[in-house]
Chains A and B, each alone.
Chain A
Amino acid sequence: MTGDPLFADGVDWGDIAVMGVKVGVAFAALLVATMFMIWFERKLISDMQHRIGPNVAGPWGLLQAFADGVKFFFKEDLRPANADPLVFRLAPYISAVTAFVAFAIVPVGGVFADTASSGAGGRQGTVTLFGKETILQVADPPIGILLLLAMSSVAVYGVMLAGWSSGSKYPLIGSVRASAQAISYEAALGMSVVAVVIVSGSLSTQSIVASQAGGVNNWLLLTTGIVPFLVFLISATAELNRPPFDLVEAEQELVGGFHTEYSSIRFALFFLAEFMNVITMSAIMVTLFFGGPAGPVFFGWTWLWPTVWFLAKVLAFLFLFVWFRATLPRLRYDQLMSLGWKVLIPVMLFWLMFLGLVQLSGVQGWNRIWTFIAAAVGFALGWALLAAALRAAKRNSPDVDAEARPAQTAGRS
């Protein structure tokens, strides 16, 4: 059931043309969306702070991001004398390419019907382009959502190598922070994805979306029990280095973080990758937990409505990320690490076991109440053990908060 129906009957030039159109449209749309995301964020955050924001280039300052992009092209491309030439050039491209590739697995449209109630079999969410049946996503690889995890783990290289190859201390500190943060939160992120996979029973994003068809009650947000979504949201924010987890570019401590030494188009690539990742993560969240393009289809072009719903949901998440930035103060580094390792990962571990138990009880036909009691007992035991371990660790070490407090006063804006 995975894979593009486009290639089901061999590959001809028409298939290749459709594929080319899909890749081209996705690439261009993502670039333009990134430009507008920059404008959206600046405009929204100035509204929240009672400022006007960009208002010179174009109507409502819409063309500000384009103007900045053009300016970046014509700036001087500096390379520090201490920099490692090859790696310094390579790093921005790793960041940009991984940001693009991760978006390929997001289904941006197509009607998904509830197979259980309507009895409709066969492929879901397909549309017909130029007489070819295809899906509205660039690729539906069998590993599906694992591609996101692979890309986010490869993206660490972009940050890490940029910091190291600059041959300068602040970028190095920034990149070590960034990669430690990304690796820590990748665990929680991966586990919340596993929760989705357990409940939907597939790795493919097409099947994950298809399993949520048929109304809000089937959305994985509710069927996985909200906790995985919250963990995913928090770890995605950390993975994106968005506030309140933007220690990577804490200006007061690190100048600009890992990209301090970059200028011109290379800096623009990092900037682009960062905003593109925000869009991709929002789209992934919509796909995994909010039914993807699911929504009521009213009149006229039935194929258009799912895409409209999808874009509306993504926009809601983009708004949420900007809202976070306007509202929440930056965490301290030890708070960041203890949130990741001592809260999110244990909670998610328990929740995974709970979901597994619920699935198993459904298969085996066990009594629901006893299952929940067993889960509650397990949770209490695990929580008690963790609390005891944390208390023992605290007793054996001096007051970490007291040590970190001077750093906090120096590091907050």
Chain B
Amino acid sequence: MVEVVVFAVAAAACLVGAIGVVLSRNPVHAALMLVMTLFGIAVLFVAQEAHFIAAVQVIVYAGAIVVLFLFVIMLLGVDRAAELSLDALPAQRWTAAAFGLGGAAVLVWLVAAVDRLFKGAKSLALETAGAASAGAGSEPTDYVADVSVLARSLFSDYVYAFELTSLLLIVAVIGTVILARRSYGADQHGADGRRADQHGADQHIDASESASTGTTSEAGR
């Protein structure tokens, strides 16, 4: 009973948030709706006894990623309601609708397939779960086991994937720093870039390109 209520409330929060992200005209409101969806998913994780994943969901997604979204929205000053009557790419709406419907169809198919799979493999799944809890030597709902199991698989079976992911993140950070770093030898370009922002996207790209070449020459020196 309690589980059904929790699921209903959390799922409703997820759905309302997701629809709100699409329908909000104000980017900040859309980001807040996204936070609502993320919180709903975190509650669903807690309902599944995946406490650690729920905490990470809140800390990383709600606490860091959407905050960065908001930073970008606020600092770029695009926090005005979008003008929807002028559409540069009229075809994108139809394309988006087609892709959305296709995605929904794939999702329904996946759920049905997984459901069929699990109906057949239910006894097997229960068996392995029992074996795992017997191996851990404690009751299966004990949470400490949950974290240590996660850590063990992350740092033993999947250690290469884990390390490669962190390497990828470092590469991304360094790349961002190099692209975003204002080159002090090329202050003129930087100012051009800012002015061009108001004129048009093409000029802006040109200016930032020249600014970035300035950066590379500076770095090469």
Contacts and interface: CB of A to CB of B under 8 A. Distances in A.
Q: Are the chains A and B members of one assembly?
A: yes
Interface of A: 1-2, 84, 86-87, 141-143, 146-147, 149-150, 153-154, 156-157, 160-161, 164, 172, 176, 179-180, 183, 186, 202-203, 396-398
Contacts of B52: 142-143, 146
B96 interface: no
B184 interface: yes
Nearest to B57: A150
A203 B147 CA distance: 9
B67 A164 contact: no
A187 B26 CA distance: 30
23 contacts: A1-B144, A2-B142, A2-B144, A84-B28, A87-B32, A143-B54, A143-B55, A146-B55, A146-B59, A149-B55, A150-B55, A150-B59, A153-B59, A154-B58, A154-B62, A154-B63, A156-B67, A164-B28, A179-B67, A179-B71, A183-B67, A186-B63, A202-B144
Contacts of A84: 26, 28
Interface residues of B, number: 29
A176 B75 contact: yes
Nearest to B53: A143
B11 interface: no
Nearest to B39: A154
Given A176-B71, A176-B74, A153 B62 contact: yes
B70 interface: yes
Given A397-B184, A398-B184, A160 B67 contact: yes
B28 A87 contact: yes
Nearest to A149: B59
B218 A396 contact: yes
Contact of B74 (A1, A172, A183): A172
Contacts of B44: none
Contacts of B64: 153, 183
Contacts of B54: 143
Interface string B140-168: 00111011000000000000000000000
Query: Closest 3 A-B residue pairs measured CB to CB?
Result: A153-B63, A142-B143, A146-B55
B204 interface: no
Interface of B: 26, 28-29, 32, 35, 51-52, 54-56, 58-59, 62-64, 67, 70-71, 74-75, 79, 142-144, 146-147, 184, 218-219
A164 B147 contact: no
A2 B75 CA distance: 43
For chain B, what secondary structure do more than half of its interface residues adopt (helix, strand, loop), or is it mixed? helix
Given A142-B51, A202-B144, A398-B184, A150 B58 contact: yes
A358 B83 CA distance: 59
A68 to B, nearest CB: 31
A147 B42 CA distance: 12
Among A154, A172, A186, A202, which residue has the most Cβ atoms of chain B within 10 A?
A: A154
B129 to A, nearest CB: 18
Nearest to B221: A396
A176 B58 CA distance: 21
A182 B218 CA distance: 33
Given A156-B67, A161-B28, A203-B144, 14 more contacts: A84-B26, A142-B52, A142-B144, A142-B146, A143-B52, A146-B52, A147-B55, A150-B55, A154-B62, A156-B63, A157-B35, A176-B74, A179-B71, A186-B63
B191 to A, nearest CB: 16
Contacts of B184: 397-398
Contact of A141 (B28, B51, B63): B51
A160 B144 contact: no
Nearest to A11: B2
A356 to B, nearest CB: 11
Contacts of B143: 2, 142-143
A156 B32 CA distance: 13
A409 B146 CA distance: 53
Contacts of A154: 58, 62-63
A396 to B, nearest CB: 7
A180 B68 CA distance: 10
Contacts of B32: 87, 161
Contacts of A156: 63, 67
A2 B54 CA distance: 17
Contacts of B56: 146
Nearest to A160: B70
A20 B35 CA distance: 29
Contacts of A153: 58-59, 62-64, 67
A86 B28 CA distance: 11
B59 A164 contact: no
Nearest to B54: A143
Contacts of B28: 84, 87, 161, 164
A20 to B, nearest CB: 17
Nearest to B218: A396
Contacts of B58: 150, 153-154
A156 B58 CA distance: 12
A160 B73 CA distance: 12
Nearest to B2: A11
A396 B177 CA distance: 14
Contacts of A146: 52, 55-56, 59
Contacts of B144: 1-2, 142, 202-203
Among A1, A176, A396, which residue has the most Cβ atoms of chain B within 10 A?
A: A396
A183 B63 CA distance: 9
A9 to B, nearest CB: 15
